Structure 1
Amino acid sequence: MNSKYYLTEVDKHPASIYCYFNLKGESFVESHQHQKGQFLYAEGGVVHVKTNVGTHYLPARHYMWIPPRVEHAIYPSSSNVVMKNLYFPIAHQALSFYNKIGIYPINSLLIELLLFTKNWQGDVFQIQKNKYVIVDAFRALLQQTASQSLLLELPHPKDHRLNLVINYLSEHIYEEHLLPQLASKFSMTDKSLYRLFKKNLNMSFIKYYTQLRIFKSLELLMNPNYNISEVATRVGYHSLPTFSNTFHKIMGKRPSEYRKSKQIYFED
């Protein structure tokens, strides 16, 4: 996919609602923005959405709302990921839901409407009453049915030293890391590393590290070759109950419940 599609086709007709359903196997979508707001639904795996300030983790069977004029790049975690996109014109005075990034679990009503429209591609205009009334209702239902947005974002570090630490954590996610030992490895005191996380990322080391482990587990849980205990071990948890409880606190469901989202509704 090239940038021409995103920079010209979506916004070519400002008043239209634009439908685009991706097939499996797409590698990534380069950084871009739209004048329209974007509904992005994923299944079959995790999608990484990178903005100027951080990386958002869009889990399977969840959707992300991206407001107009927000620059972002899209990286599916594997070739098994399927993405469904709808682009809506959003008025400046629209409700706050449409003006902030959010990640939400999909509900059965939205799934049914997506399935009904899965073969629609391109612009839907108001004069196409049979189609437009459905996608316009979909836009309204997003705001009316949305639960609390899941906080599935990790900010980008601006400090070079912290970037090295975070890369190390990502590459050695299978190990359990404690702040004093980690700081020592990078020739810092634990207090200085703690302050670096707070000042640079506006979150504590433990919060960042915990979220990183759980976000990494989202991808592993889609792999049928690993049972849940093995997934826990691969993200550095020696206790399955601790992993399950931490996962539930962040995701609002147990790892076993999330694993059920491997089911694919939209086949190529």
Structure 2
Amino acid sequence: MQNDNIKCGQIEKSRGQYVDNILTDAYVWYEKNWRHDEYDHAHQRYQLTYVEDGYQYFHIGQKTYLAPQNHVIWIPSAKEHRTTSDAKTVNLMIVLFKSVPEHEFFQNVHVFAAPSILKEMLLYAEKWNQLPNEDEEQTLFLKAMLNSLPHFCNENEFLQIPVPADNRLLPVCNYINTHFKYNFDIDTLASIANMSVRSLQRIFKQETGITMQKYMQLIRILKSIELIDTKQYTLSQIAVMVGYKSLPAFTSSYYAIMKTKPRLKK
């Protein structure tokens, strides 16, 4: 079991603040049915997280990132973040790197589906789980994986849920987040924001980078991922539960976001 004061191999001296006593340049932490504390924290190491089972939300700055099953998220050094998930089971592998190559990729957050070769590399790296001393194979293997990440990254920008900085838009997002099953009335949303319809559409796109229609689609698909994870419903049932009139309409929308067709978990 995880020690209360040890988080991913680092010592938590105070809430969300860590002391890094790890001797190795790259450290592997894998645990079944485990997730991080749901409060903001930061550490100097760069973090690669692979979601083997379940799904995990990462709240970083003005965005929330969804890492579904078989996806990875890269978090740069000292980037404050917190995690949440309602999945029944969350199996995570975390690799913490002290140093990274001088490449722009490593300075930004990325979420992408793990290609087969990366999944195999991560599964192989499990042999070094929580080992304090680094051997030559581990050093070379994890460095090779690290250097390959920019080439593996086929980023899905739709796994990023924008959070507007304009407080007038937060009630609009909250309304869509809770009424995603129903097609929204633009006049109602404008009234909630105390704006004209034209101003709401313009400012929402300016603040989030997407239209309200696209935001609604994104929320629906993310909710469907959560429902698929429960293993309680058919795809047709899930399609109706998230607001689609037919399975083909849901499948088409899901593919537009996830670049793959929805599948029930076995």
CA distance in structure 2 between the aligned counterparts of 1:227 and 1:237, rounded to whole angstroms: 14
Task: Tell me whether 197-206 or 40-49 shows the greater mean CA deviation.
Answer: 197-206
**Match among 221, 225, 228 for residue 214 of structure 1:** 221
Pairing of 1:220-231 with structure 2 (within 5 A): 220-231=227-238
2:96 matched to which residue of 1? 87
2:241 corresponds to = 234
The answer to whether structure 1 residue 114 and structure 2 residue 116 are counterparts is no
The whole-number CA distance in structure 2 between the counterparts of 1:99 and 1:14 is: 23
Residue 60 (1) aligns with residue 72 (2)? no
Q: CA deviation at 1:5?
A: 2.9
| Structure 2: runs of 5 or more not aligned | 12-17
Structure 1 residue runs without a partner (length 5+): 264-268
Deviations 1:172-206 (A, max 9, x none): 22222232343346654322321331243233211
Q: Does 1:99 align with 2:101?
A: no
Partners of 1:3 and 1:192 in 2: CA distance: 49
Q: 1:243 aligns with which of 244, 247, 250?
A: 250
Note if 1:133 corresponds to 2:140: yes
1:81-114: CA deviations, max 9, x gaps?
Answer: 11110011234x6212212211111122222222
| Distance apart, 1:249 and its partner CA | 1.3
Alpha carbons 1:29, 1:73 under 8 Å: kept: yes
Question: 2 CA distance for matches of 1:147 and 1:160?
Answer: 32
**TM score, norm. by length of structure 2:** 0.84
State the aligned residue count: 257
Contact 1:61 1:105 (8 Å CA) reproduced: yes
Partners of 1:144 and 1:247 lie apart in 2 by 25
Which secondary structure state, in structure 2, belongs to the residue aligned with residue 71 of structure 1? coil
Q: Deviations over 1:13-55 (max 9, x none)?
A: 4762111113305463421222221110113322100011110
Cα separation, 2, equivalents of 1:148 and 1:156: 19
Q: Which residue of the partner structure matches residue 194 of structure 1?
A: 201
Partner of 1:159: 166
Q: Distance in 2 between matches of 1:144 and 1:157?
A: 31
Q: 1:124 to 1:95 in 2, by over 3 A?
A: farther
Task: Describe the superposition over 1:207-249 as per-residue Cα deviations: whole angstroms up to 9, x where unpaired.
Answer: 2222121122111122221111211211111132222112111
Deviation readout 1:52-98 (Å, 9 max, x if unpaired): 1110011111111111121111113323111110011234x621221
1:248-263 to 2 correspondence within 5 Å?
248-256=255-263, 259=264, 262=265
Deviation at 1:10, TM superposition (A): 7.3
- Separation in structure 1 between the aligned mates of residue 228 and residue 177 of structure 2, nearest angstrom: 17
Contact preservation (8 Å) 1:220, 1:231: yes
| TM-superposed deviation, 1:129 | 0.8
Answer 1 or 2: higher relative contact order, Cα 8 Å, separation at least 6: 1
Q: 1:18-37 counterparts in 2 under 5 A?
A: 18-26=27-35, 28-37=37-46
Alpha carbons of structure 1 residues 111 and 124: separation in structure 2 relative to 1, 3 Å: farther
**Counterpart of 2:7 in 1: which secondary structure?**
helix
Quick one: structure 1 residues 200 and 147, their matched pair in 2 at CA, closer, same or farther if it must change by over 3 Å? closer
Distance 1:174 1:30, change over 3 A: same
Partner of 1:266: none
Distance (Å, rounded) in 2 between the aligned partners of 1:187 and 1:133:
58
